Amino acid sequence: MPHLRPPSIDHGVVSLLWAVGLGAFIYFGMVAVGVSGGVSFIAAAVGAFFIFLLVRLYGEDEGPREAARSRDRIR
């Protein structure tokens, strides 16, 4: 019986999905509370950019090999 596992998705794609999703959340949330559409779009775009950077730089989990290497460097 073959071992089934989910497909590998590049971390850049995952970062982009988080940025687009949370950017849309920011946009629609600001529009819902009465902020104008232009200001909402600018704030959502800037927020999505920074969310993309943060998830891209700090969001990836260490695999078991990388964790072992980092422990060996500390010793």
Give the CA distances from residue 3 to residues 9, 38, 44, 48, 66, in Å, rounded to whole numbers and listed in that order: 18, 50, 41, 37, 23
Instruction: Tell whether the model's pLDDT for residue 69 goes beyond 70.
Output: no
E strand or H helix that includes residue 26: helix 11-32
pTM surpassing 0.85? no
Q: In which band, very low, low, confident or very high, does the pLDDT at 20 lie, cut at 50, 70 and 90?
A: very high
Q: In which band, very low, low, confident or very high, does the pLDDT at 60 lie, cut at 50, 70 and 90?
A: confident
Domain residue limits, the chain: 19-56
Q: What is the pLDDT of residue 47?
A: 97
